[in-house]
Amino acid sequence: MATAPIFEKTTFREVMAEILHRITEGPWGPGTLLPGEVELAEEFRCSRTTMNRALREVSELGFLDRKRKAGTRVRMAPIRQARFEMPIVRAEVEKTGASYRYALIKREILVAPDWLRARMNLQVGGEVVHLLCLHSANGEAFQLEDRWINATALPQALHQDFTAIGPNEWLIATVPFSEVEISFLATSADAITVTYLDHKLGEPVFCIERATWWQNAAITLVTLSHRRGYRMTTRY
């Protein structure tokens, strides 16, 4: 009886490439239960850490379903993931050839309201910086930014006036992030939106809500409301 060949695949990328080949070209068809990590690491002649990383990456591509105790199985149908780039609004506007302008509408320091504290798991009595900003393209409103910054995690925000630079650009230059949550939603235009964007009261508004954390500490929550006709596109 012939034995399975031993592959001298040692690098992470080589191991990942071979796993993908076995899934897409055979013999690991849909529904196949893969051998355990230890057995695979021995076959591929790589460390268990390398094998674990390769399986995790292939799983994130949508080809594998990994469950504790149940093992790793090839999905019946790969899950495709759409990836959206979240550009700095200045770059997004200037990329179209338009002239960008930023304006700070409101800046206030206050104790985190209950809804925000619950949403971001903030400490009771903690201060936040609340900002309302308008981004324009060729003199016309492009995006309304409603942002909250956790001053407990980022106390330097208390001393930043945000008149010359937008909070998103400042945050990118000040602190990294380890976790991001993004939601796309349609809301009804309220009085503030009507005032600064070209919308009628109650009209649907395309919004992006983004929350970021750094090492389990909440950093910021922002809602970006866009002008009529705004479009976000991805390809995968």
Q: So what's the pLDDT on residue 68? A: 82
218 and 148 in a common domain: yes
97 and 180 in a common domain: yes
Say if 152 falls within a structural domain: yes
Say if 172 falls within a structural domain: yes
205 and 100 in a common domain: yes
Boundary residue ending a domain (29, 47, 74)? 74
Say if 7 falls within a structural domain: no
Number of folded domains that form the chain:
2
- What are the pLDDT digits (tens) for 76-96? 877 665 566 667 899 999 999
Say if 1 falls within a structural domain: no
With a CB cutoff of 8 Å and minimum separation 6, the contacts of 41 are 47, 48, 50, 51
Per-residue pLDDT at 24 exceeds 50: yes
Boundary residue ending a domain (23, 48, 74)? 74
Tokens matching residue 93: 């506007």
- What are the pLDDT digits (tens) for 107-146? 999 999 999 999 999 999 999 999 999 999 999 999 999 9
96 and 194 in a common domain: yes
Q: So what's the pLDDT on residue 176? A: 82
96 and 70 in a common domain: no
* Mean per-residue pLDDT, 150-176: 94
CB 60 within 8 A of CB 67: no
Say if 236 falls within a structural domain: no
Q: So what's the pLDDT on residue 198? A: 84
- What are the pLDDT digits (tens) for 185-218? 999 999 999 999 989 999 999 999 999 998 889 9
119 and 56 in a common domain: no
138 and 52 in a common domain: no
Tokens 């001053």 correspond to 151
62 and 97 in a common domain: no
Residue ranges making up the domain that contains 65 = 12-74
CB 129 within 8 A of CB 201: no
Nearest to 196 by CA among 155, 145, 158: 145
Say if 234 falls within a structural domain: no
216 and 99 in a common domain: yes
pLDDT, mean over the chain: 89
Say if 232 falls within a structural domain: no
126 and 185 in a common domain: yes
Tokens matching residue 48: 């268990």
* Mean per-residue pLDDT, 165-185: 90
Q: What is the CATH number of the domain that holds 34?
A: 1.10.10.10
Tokens matching residue 188: 């009804």
Q: What is the CATH number of the domain that holds 152?
A: 3.40.1410.10
Say if 65 falls within a structural domain: yes
131 and 64 in a common domain: no
57 and 154 in a common domain: no
Rounded (10°) CA dihedral 97, 187, 185, 150: 90
| Strand-pair partners of 25 | none
Segment (H or E) for 18: helix 12-25
* Mean per-residue pLDDT, 40-50: 91
